[in-house]
């Protein structure tokens, strides 16, 4: 069982709330950590979060290294993460721009290498997130745990770059146990949700923990064995959650988190 104090609410789960609403609801529910997305930020966000005595587990997202203007935008993302006190910037690395996936992966590696000194100077760790392979066309050419780990290992200091492990994106992988057995010190953040059967939407069809087929206790134990003892983000992207009463939803999330 994961310590309930490690629960962080990834705010994409409640993207229908403003950031001040989310902060207020979390504080009321006794959730001490949040992970905002950049589009949710306003100039006073750091103050709003601090005054509610919450902490930020990560900022989502930088990346998209295969797009024009990525470098400038990623430096802004690092600055925003630093301003929030977010220890990790989640990298969604960007889709291929041609059928040559190896070229896309090389572009991504080069982009991370350029960003890394700036991020390190700001005290922000970069977290390479392998996405589910079904998201390759729109979001990321990095679609397996193994390649994310291999990419992270190309950089000398794991304190500056690691991986973001989201159970939803990687649970299907027959190499999960072997890859995580070699991932000590490389996990920058751990995310949980569940894979619904059937899954009807490639982006927004995720389930709350316990409603799907992911063996979260098993994956959690594998993560624990790597030495990772930081925040565990609940990131459930599903528009149906917008219909739930805030405190009822957060209480449900806490209960499910305790079981997973």
Q: Give the interface with a copy of itself as residue ranges (CB under 8 A).
A: 95-96, 98-101, 105, 132-134, 136-138, 143-144, 146-147, 171-175, 195-200, 202, 212-216, 218
| Burial (CB count <10 Å: 0-12, 13-18, 19+), residue 183 | buried
Whichever of 69 and 99 has its CB closer to a copy of itself, that residue is 99
Q: How far is the CB of 111 from a copy of itself (least distance, A)?
A: 17
Span between the terminal Cα atoms of the chain, in Å: 7
- b/e per residue 198-237 (b: at least 16 CB within 10 A): eeeeeeebbbbbebbebebeebbebbeebebebbbbbbbb
* Length of the chain (residues): 260
Q: What is the smallest separation between the CB atom of 101 and a copy of itself, expressed in angstroms?
A: 7
Q: Which is nearer to a copy of itself, 201 or 248 (CB)?
A: 201
Task: Tell me the closest approach of the beta carbon of residue 11 to a copy of itself, in angstroms.
Answer: 24
Closer CB to a copy of itself, residue 24 or residue 173? 173
Residue among 171 and 190 whose Cβ is closer to a copy of itself:
171
**189/166 Cα distance (integer angstroms):** 8
Q: How far is the CB of 241 from a copy of itself (least distance, A)?
A: 20
| Torsion angle (degrees, nearest 10) of CA 247, 250, 252, 256 | -160
Give me the least distance between CB of 42 and a copy of itself, in Å please. 30
The Cα–Cα gap between 201 and 249 comes to 21
Which residue number, 177 or 229, has a Cβ lying nearer to a copy of itself?
177
């Amino acid at each position: 069982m994961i310590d309930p104090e490690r629960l962080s609410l990834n705010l994409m789960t409640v993207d229908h709330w403003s950031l001040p609403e989310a902060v207020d609801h979390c504080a009321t529910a006794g959730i001490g950590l949040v992970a905002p997305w950049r589009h949710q930020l306003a100039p006073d966000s750091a103050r709003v979060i601090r005054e509610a005595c919450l902490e930020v587990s990560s900022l989502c997202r930088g990346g998209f290294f295969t797009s024009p203007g990525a470098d400038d935008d990623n430096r802004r993302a690092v600055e925003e993460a630093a301003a929030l006190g977010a220890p990790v910037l989640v990298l969604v690395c960007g889709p291929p721009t041609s059928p040559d996936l190896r070229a896309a992966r090389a572009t991504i590696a080069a982009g991370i290498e350029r960003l890394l000194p700036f991020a390190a100077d700001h005290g922000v760790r970069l977290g390479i997130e392998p996405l589910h392979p079904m998201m390759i066309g729109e979001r990321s050419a990095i679609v397996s745990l193994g390649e994310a780990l291999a990419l992270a290992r190309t950089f000398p200091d794991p304190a500056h770059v690691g991986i973001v492990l989201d159970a939803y994106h990687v649970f299907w992988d027959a190499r999960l146990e072997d890859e995580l057995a070699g991932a000590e010190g490389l996990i920058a953040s751990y995310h949980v949700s569940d894979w619904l059967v059937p899954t009807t939407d490639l982006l927004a069809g995720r389930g709350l923990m316990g409603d799907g087929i992911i063996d979260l206790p098993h994956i959690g134990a594998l993560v624990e064995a790597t030495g990772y003892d930081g925040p565990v983000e609940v990131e459930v992207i599903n528009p149906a959650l917008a219909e739930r009463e805030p405190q009822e939803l957060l209480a449900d999330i806490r209960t499910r988190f305790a079981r997973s």
